[in-house]
Chains A and B, each alone.
Chain A
Amino acid sequence: MAAISREEVAHLARLSRLAVTEEELDTFAGQLDVILQSVAQVGEVAAADIPPTSHSVPLTNVLREDVVTPCLTPQEALSGAPDAEEQRFRVPRILDEDVAS
């Protein structure tokens, strides 16, 4: 059985705002399936005493002091923006009111 279905790939593409064609769905579903099965093999050999790892470096508490550093100028900040107006990034209208926080 496949580790990921074509429908799941379509769902992920939607969540990621990726426009994926029907043809690409078949391709990616196949490729992702290979990747997931390979990872599953690693999972099989990992013993109970090996905790899941989210970070490859054994570091904690990398913090910085609360000291102001120079910012970009608004011109620099907006230089890569597709569009700007009133010193702000200009984006197409948004209808989805879901905001974080």
Chain B
Amino acid sequence: MTTTLPAYDEVVARYEPVIGLETHVELGTNTKMWCGCPTDFGGEPNTRVCPVCLGLPGSLPVANKAAIEATIRIGLALNCSIAEWCRFARKNYFYPDMPKNFQISQYDEPLCVDGHLDVEVNGETVRIGIERVHLEEDTGKTLHVGGATGRIHGATESLVDYNRAGIPLVEIVTKPIPGTGALAPEVARAYVTELRDVIRSLGVSDVRMEEGSLRCDVNTSLNLPGEEWGTRTETKNVNSLRSVERAVRSEMLRQASVLDAGGSITQETRHFHEDTGDTTPGRSKETATDYRYFPEPDLVPLAPDTAWVAELKAALPELPRLRRKRIQQEWGLSDLDMQSVVNAGAVELIEATVAAGATPAAARKWWLGELSRRANETGVELADVGVSPRHVAELQGLVDGGKLNDKLARIVLEGVIGGEGSPAEIMTNRGLEVVSDTGALTAAVDEAIAANPDVADKVRSGKVAAAGALVGAVMKTTRGQADAKTVRELILERLGVQG
């Protein structure tokens, strides 16, 4: 398709977007939702299955207490009310990713309802309404074979691995979010980021988008000011924070071009493509989906008692937003500085680096400077750059102890990223330690003075600034492994000049 898309500024000047987000989080419990099969990632196919998660006749599910607790804790962290009584529901559909021909989910009685999450966008607080948080089970993985591309179209058969089937999955649905205007894409991203951080702080999931433990569907619609909300589309396959933002923006542009041409939006599922940043329609449904939900007869209702919920609430950790405020104070950062730390995704990393012994200033310098640059260059999240907070603290310790200068520290950091070991190991193995042996340094200084008699004379006559050339010469013979300040002091001392 070669239609020209309108400019984003024009679109938001004429239309008002309404967005909504549906997020699935795989819980990090030891076992599956309804049976004791382990949930660890990456096992051989069909090695984490039993009669329950294979849906064999006569097997019965029993709910995992840890998963229920985790869901209630997520609900509480999102300021939801916890249902006093609710049931699981059977969602009937025919697709071999569930061997039972149904998925146990929740329908009109979710465990948590009506909450909110505050997120910061451009220094403003936006309150995102939470419609519901419910618990269901994940599906198996299908591998399509026989087609040219391994995709579903053209495949002649599918191979199914049920290791993932039955892993507890929490679905978090926002209320529609109107009124964000041009900021809609940023709000969507900020929400998913904040939600991820909240869930991570609860320790109930590793919430890694790239591994699929956090998955996001984005609803978008446009309407003219003062008119009713438009028809929405649901974009699936949005697998990174950046994609959340891009998917909303791209869908806003596409819908605007359709509406501008006098067309109408079809309510449909669309797929986001990471490479192009576009969405394309999924297969259209000939008939409306009818899942024939009914109360799950194999499970009894859930009635979390008030004392249990209160206990879980009391045990909630400090949530990211409050923690950021506290940290900002402790570290003495301006709003702007704190924002750059948050935007870089460095709060936890800096906090851990400080805990490992570095000062907040030094920790911030490494994560926002050299390491952010590396992350940007290689296109990975800061946490995945290959350096741990412990490494950074150790490296800074070596700098503070005078064993490394800034330049050498950066070389050592390259080694850490390259997997050569800890900073101290790399420094030793590569012989990168600052030459602090005064004997060796003095020899290098004397050599430099002898080789540059003119410069030495200038310095002796009081032109102290000229000593720079001698420092340079010493740094060269020591291959940068001397401390420039010490070298300078030594040179001046040898030449009998006061620094």
Number of interface residues of A (CB under 8 A): 42
Query: B47 to A62, Cβ gap below 8 A?
Result: no
Residues on A with C-beta less than 8 A from B85 are 60
Q: How far is the CB of A81 from chain B (nearest CB, A)?
A: 9
Residues of A within 8 A of B192 (CB): none
Residues of A77-96 at the interface with B, using a CB-CB cut-off of 8 Å, are 77-78, 80, 85-96
CB-based nearest A residue for B153: A95
Contacts of A66 in B (CB 8 A): 29-31, 64-67
- Residues on A with C-beta less than 8 A from B48 are 71
Q: Is the CB of B66 within 8 A of A61?
A: no
Q: Is B155 in contact with chain A by the CB < 8 A criterion?
A: yes
Contact yes or no, B36 A67, CB < 8 A = yes
Indicate if the CB atoms of B31 and A78 lie closer than 8 Å. Answer: no
Tell me whether B157 and A87 are in contact (CB under 8 A): no
Q: A68-B30, A68-B31, A89-B96 are in contact. Are A62 and B159 (CB under 8 A)?
A: no
A69 at the interface (CB under 8 A from B): yes
Query: Which of the 9-residue segments B114-122, B297-305, B391-399, B448-456 touches chain A?
Result: B297-305
Distance between B395 CB and nearest chain A CB, rounded to angstroms: 39
Is A63 an interface position by the 8 A CB rule? yes
Instruction: Pick out which of these stretches binds chain B: A22-30, A32-40, A42-50, A51-59.
Output: A51-59
Q: Is A7 an interface residue (CB 8 A)?
A: no
Q: Judge if B306 is at the interface, Cβ distance under 8 Å.
A: no
**Cα distance A65–B35 in the bound complex, in angstroms:** 10
Instruction: Write the nearest CB–CB distance from A85 to chain B, whole angstroms.
Output: 6
> A1 contacts the other chain (Cβ, under 8 Å)?
no
Chain A: which residue is nearest B38 at the CB level?
A68
Do the beta carbons of B301 and A77 come within 8 Å of each other?
A: no
Which chain B positions have C-beta within 8 A of A72? 49-51, 54
Pick the residue among B46, B97, B105, B304 that contacts A77 (CB under 8 A).
Answer: B46
Q: Which residues of A sit under 8 angstroms from B295, Cβ to Cβ? A: 54-55
B203 to chain A, nearest CB (A): 13
Q: Is the CB of B303 within 8 A of A74?
A: no
A69 to B91, CA, bound (A): 26
The DSSP consensus for interface residues of chain A is: loop
| Inter-subunit contact B50/A89 (CB<8 Å) | no
> Would B62 and A93 count as touching, CB distance under 8 A?
no
Asked whether any CB of chain A lies closer than 8 Å to the CB of B144, the reply is yes
Closest A-chain residue to B161, C-beta based?
Answer: A88
Nearest A residue to B154 via CB reads: A93
Q: How far is A97 from B151 in the complex, measured between Cα atoms in Å? A: 11
Q: Which one of B139, B156, B158, B283 has the greatest number of beta carbons of chain A within 10 Å?
A: B158
CB distance from A75 to the nearest CB of B (A): 9
Interface string of B89-100 (1 = CB under 8 A from A): 001111111110
Q: Are A91 and B49 in contact (CB under 8 A)?
A: no
Given A64-B65, A69-B36, A100-B139: A90 in contact with B301 (beta carbons within 8 A): no
- 24 cross-chain CB contacts under 8 A: A54-B87, A54-B295, A54-B297, A54-B301, A55-B295, A61-B303, A68-B36, A69-B31, A71-B38, A74-B46, A78-B46, A80-B56, A85-B159, A88-B159, A88-B160, A90-B158, A91-B96, A91-B160, A92-B157, A93-B158, A96-B94, A100-B98, A101-B24, A101-B169
- A residues contacting B by CB (< 8 A) are 15-17, 54-55, 57, 59-74, 77-78, 80, 85-101
B-side residues, CB < 8 A to A, are: 24, 29-31, 35-38, 44-51, 54, 56, 62-68, 85, 87, 91-99, 103, 105, 136, 138-139, 142-144, 146, 152-153, 155-162, 169, 171, 282-283, 285, 289-290, 292, 294-295, 297, 299-304
